[in-house]
Structure 1
């Protein structure tokens, strides 16, 4: 069985992005486990989750609403990446690879 969202390039890219963010978050300090690490992982997962959830709705307006949730989650991820860079958890190079 296949879902419509699996064919969406934006969903595919959000899945790839989510895995990249998850991988870098493995190297955050242990004392960030319940703070920044948890936050960035939940936010990055939310991007793809909202795209998939919204894509199965009948209304185009409802799908747009869920895309809005995804964009907000993405903004949260970017903010977490800035915090990660500012705290020297990730390099400027890794930051640029993810954010540009």
Structure 2
């Protein structure tokens, strides 16, 4: 069992979620039930799945929650790209978010690989 508050992937994904909330504050009000809602939900899902996974007894279950967090990362990536395409997100904001998200994806992937290796042994 892991202490989620000590996990760097949880810390970084929480900061990333806050960053998403900050940039979407400038989106048009007409997107309240569109991209704003989707980005909030998907970005919150990343640290939430990591923390929920730590409560699971088996490493296999924890790995599954990390997989769900990874899916949310890719969902957010698609949504920020669309936001940029629509002019809601500046290129500089997109690049900064993509860099942070790529780092989180790499950390989750590496951590998940480590857990899966332990399951096989």
**Same-fold call, TM cutoff 0.5:** yes
Task: Give the total of aligned pairs.
Answer: 98
Q: What is the RMSD computed on CA atoms of the aligned residues?
A: 0.9
Q: TM-score, normalised by structure 2?
A: 0.79
Residue 98 of structure 1 deviates from its aligned partner by 0.6
Question: What is the CA–CA distance in structure 1 between the aligned matches of 2:22 and 2:78, rounded to whole Å?
Answer: 17
Residue 69 of structure 1 deviates from its aligned partner by 0.3
Q: Determine the structure 2 residue equivalent to 1:52.
A: 51
Residue 38 of structure 1 deviates from its aligned partner by 0.2
Q: Determine the structure 1 residue equivalent to 2:76.
A: 77
Q: TM-score, normalised by structure 1?
A: 0.96
Gaps of 5+ in 1: none
Question: What is the CA–CA distance in structure 1 between the aligned matches of 2:91 and 2:34, rounded to whole Å?
Answer: 21
Gaps of 5+ in 2: 100-121
